[in-house]
Structure 1
């Protein structure tokens, strides 16, 4: 068991669309942007934006690939790690030495929609759908709970912006959000 790993929860927005690593099929990556803001006597102020690389492995990566789009509000839990390298054209220190660059990344264990920015419904993962009896309808609506599905987790479907927007019901998601070819935009 690893010790002294920094586990964090971050909120922010997907700064890029997720992409599958060209040589590591089980790895999906994207950038996340997080800008802290605060209210100063009725005026909202922002501090600098933090951009961080997010890595999602295995089934989580598959779900992120089909669910997350650029601009989506996210809550991500994972482990922070970093690596240092010398860039092709490094900056120099005052004493003439090459400066190293450090890249921080978050290896995600959980990725979810930040419901403080939108409303959502959810759909079952494909593995759960395939295992259900085809003749039995899946429970849906307010009475359906995760335990109804054997405790399996699910991915969310966008259903508006949370401001009473009824133009985008859960069964007809925003086409721009469904660019991954799946009706489950988030």
Structure 2
């Protein structure tokens, strides 16, 4: 039995996707996604927005970096994790963030249109294919 929590989230990008590249390391990209839902019943209903940090790696990271801007409607699927970090305001105080380590990211076509461009294979992969 696998002890992973798989999630799918439909929401909007809260900002630009940022690509991080280091020599000899796999590139990764991060962006924030806000997903809203209604809580309560009757007259006590209120909209609640949950925010998630999304991390992607390798070619998915490169594609997210050029495709996702603030407000882009996205569908994200991946493994839910928590990350702990020191607060910027109070370095001795630790905070926790919900992170989706995404294996799939798409534009939500119910809210707009997109045009697909196939990413060319790297030279060494296309030569062996």
Q: Which residue of 2 aligns with 1:35?
A: 36
Structure 1 residue runs of 4+, over 4 Å off?
22-25
| Larger Rg over CA atoms | 1
Distance 1:3 1:67, change over 3 A: same
Which consecutive residues of structure 1, in runs of 5 or more, have no partner in the other structure? 91-97, 132-186
TM-fit CA distance, 1:73? 0.3
Instruction: Tell me the equivalent position of 2:116.
Output: 122
CA–CA separation in structure 2 for the residues paired with 1:67 and 1:104:
22
Unaligned ranges ≥5, structure 2 = none
Q: Please give the TM-score of this superposition, normalised by the length of structure 1.
A: 0.54
CA distance in 1, matches of 2:67, 2:6: 23
Shift, 1:32, TM fit = 1.0
- Give 1 or 2: higher helix fraction: 2
TM-score, reference length from structure 2: 0.75
- Equivalent in 104, 107, 124 of residue 113 of structure 1: 107
Q: Trace 1:39-54 onto structure 2 (pairs within 5 A).
A: 46-54=46-54
Tell me, yes or no, if the aligned pair for 2:21 and 2:27 is still in contact at 8 Å. Answer: no
Shift, 1:34, TM fit: 1.1
